[in-house]
Amino acid sequence: MTSTHTDLPVAQFLGGDWVDSATTMPVHNPATGAQIATVADGDEATAIAALDAAAAAQADWAGTDPRHRSDILLRAFGLLHAETDRIARTITLEMGKPLAEARGEVGYGAEFLRWFAEEATRGSGAYFRAPSGGGRIAVRKQPVGPVFAITPWNFPLAMVTRKVAPALAAGCTVVLKPAPQTPLTALEFMRILVEAGVPPGVVNCVTTSRAPLVSAPIIADRRLRKLTFTGSTAVGRTLLTQAAQGVLRVSMELGGNAPFVVLESADLDKAVGGAVLAKLRNAGQACVAADRFLVHEALAAEFTERFLAAVSALPLGDGLDRSTRLGPVIDGAAVRRITALIDEAVDGGAHLHTVGPDIDRPGHFVRPAVLTDVDTRSRLWSSEVFGPVAAIRTFTDPAQALHLANDTDAGLAGYVFGENLGDTLEFAENLRTGMVGVNTGVISDPAAPFGGMKSSGLGREGGSTGLAEYQEMQYLAIAR
């Protein structure tokens, strides 16, 4: 197994050892299409070896002092910061986002380590007299047990730390299966955890191109107690069905289809700035990306013109080039999928405003596009876009905008812009989404509960609830 770029780890990480595999898989740079590494391609045997290691380490890890676990997480936080340049470069190489965004992801991803290092030491429980007077009620928290974490490619570090940090803080051991497109960052993070002092078996990483083959036996194993998944809603549904057999604790962070609402009282500078961030960060490949723009009729022409101008000013290219502000999408299939969404919407009567010249370079690039008069029945409107394409509709009545905003099975993020505080907050409170940006296009914060309503998921990551997702409550009924 090899990496053509740096001394990146390319073997699997099982029970504290770097383990080679007979079968390998390639990793590509989406900005060039070039193969950058060959990594281990795990199978059923690797999956069970990883779970064996996690199960064997569980009792000892659960028995460590919270302060000890906290110190390890804080060391990992420091190490990640110290290696920002290297990790950011790895993220950009395998995923494509511009280096500045990759550095931002390292900061954001590392912050979960610090947050949960702090949360680990905040013991909580209860001890009180039973209302009937017959005895005492004591409630304690304990780790739920070995965790299986499956992560997507769009935030190769942050989606991993958002799960691994609270699991470790709570005293759970982990088997991680990163996305096949982005195994290198996950393996780098394993190296950092070892350096920080995580003992063998406590964290294990199986890289594989055969997700169902590796995941099914782990989920079916009675030693596993928790499944945490971030990815598409379709795969989430499949995994929920599998998890039902073992009645596993589950956390599901699934797809979104975020509305971005510009009320009549909005400040257009804020709204356009927020729209650029909420739509184009990560080339639109974020679960919280704004998809459906609902703009008040009175502001629509100016909003669209200024948004187009702002998008045109973003240099598109290889994320490793420091001037790039907009990188490629993940692969050729994504280019074809996004292009089809645009074509179908245009066939359905939408007006297309493209930005910049045709792209004539290798790699998986999509020219940013803004579409107006988009039919609500089009897939561009009704499904998650996951690309640098904005669909705009106008409204005059805020009640109509609210109806359209909520008229979807997804309920992850929403955005509302308005300077009339009362109306704007009321609109935000009525959005059926787990998170709402009010006059901001950036909502992710490790200290806040991240997650969705409706088919966008179950549970919350980050915040103080993020730790509880990895804890089990035990109640002791104490006789008088």
The residues binding ligand NAD (CB under 6 A) are 150-154, 159, 177, 179-180, 211-212, 215, 230-232, 235, 238-239, 253-256, 287, 384, 386, 412, 452, 457
Give Cα 123 to chain centroid, integer Å: 27
User: Measured at CB, which residue is nearest to ligand NAD?
Assistant: 231
Compare residues 284 and 368 and give the one whose CB is closer to ligand NAD: 284
CA 250/CA 457 separation, integer angstroms? 10
For residue 197, the 8-state DSSP code is T
* Residue matched to tokens 């996950």: 186
Q: What's the rounded Cα separation, in Å, for the pair 291 and 414?
A: 9
Which one, 142 or 238, has the nearer CB to ligand NAD?
Answer: 238
Tokens of 169: 């803080």
Q: Which of 83, 111, 119, 287 is catalytic?
A: 287
- In this complex, which beta carbon is closest to ligand NAD, that of residue 75 or of residue 292? 292
Least Å distance, CB 210 to ligand NAD, is: 9
Is the separation of the CB atoms in 168 and 72 below 8 Å? yes
CB of 352 to ligand NAD, least distance (A): 24
Decide if 253 is catalytic: yes
**Least Å from the CB of residue 320 to ligand NAD:** 22
| Residue 466 CB partners (closer than 8 Å, separation 6+) | 115, 116, 119, 162, 166, 449, 450, 460
Residue 220 or 473 having the CB closest to ligand NAD: 220
Write the burial class of residue 34 (CB in 10 Å: 0-12 exposed, 13-18 middle, 19+ buried).
middle
Q: Transcribe 265-299 into DSSP letters.
A: T--HHHHHHHHHHHHHGGGG-STT-EEEEEEEHHH
Q: Which of 172, 176, 206 is nearest to 73 (CA)?
A: 172
- Which is nearer to ligand NAD, 337 or 367 (by Cβ)? 337
CA-based angle 66:70:73, to the nearest 5? 145
Give the 3-state secondary structure percentages of the chain, helix then strand then coil, rounded to 5: 40, 20, 35
Give the Cα separation of 297 and 275 in Å (integer): 17
> Least Å distance between CB 457 and ligand NAD?
6
Of residues 40 and 150, the one with the C-beta less far from ligand NAD: 150
Q: Which residue out of 83, 253, 384, 469 is catalytically annotated?
A: 253
Residue 136 or residue 237: which is nearer to ligand NAD going by CB? 237
CB of 231 to ligand NAD, least distance (A): 3
Q: Least distance in Å: CB of 330 to ligand NAD?
A: 7
Residues 12, 17, 22, 28, CA torsion sign:
positive
Task: Quote the least distance from Cβ 158 to ligand NAD, whole Å.
Answer: 9
Q: Which tokens go with 443?
A: 């909502």
Cα 391 to the chain's mean position, in Å?
23
Rounded to whole angstroms, the Cα distance separating 398 from 106 reads 38
Catalytic residues: 253, 287
